[in-house]
Amino acid sequence: MLEAALNFFMERDDARVVLLPRNSGKAAALEKTWRTWISSGKILIPKQAVDGLNLLWSSDLVVSGGGTMNREAAALGVPVYSIFAGKSEPLITI
């Protein structure tokens, strides 16, 4: 789903994507796959930690695997879309 989303956004002249990979291995794989768009500046992978709330607040849309970032974006009123494809657990079990 990530590939489809990035392909969609890269077709738009007004889109800029900030990717936050979970670790250096994922960052390296993304950098290899999306090298052209990263070098053009349409995709940015920060080299150091960023202020997540400010990044969310400044975003027009958040696309994430789910969890905290999605909930924080929604709480800030930023449109959010989850691409989580795994089995989800209920937040509250009775």
pLDDT tens digits along 40-78:
999 999 999 899 899 999 999 999 887 888 899 999 999
pTM for this one? Answer: 0.80
Q: With pLDDT > 70 as the criterion, what percentage of the chain qualifies?
A: 91
* Domain boundaries, given as residue ranges, for the chain: 1-48, 51-85
Contact criterion met (CB below 8 Å) for 44 and 18: yes
pLDDT band for position 16 (50/70/90)?
A: very high
pLDDT value of position 90: 59
* CA–CA separation, 25 and 29 (whole Å): 6
Residue 91 has pLDDT above 80, yes or no: no
Q: What is the CA radius of gyration of the chain?
A: 14
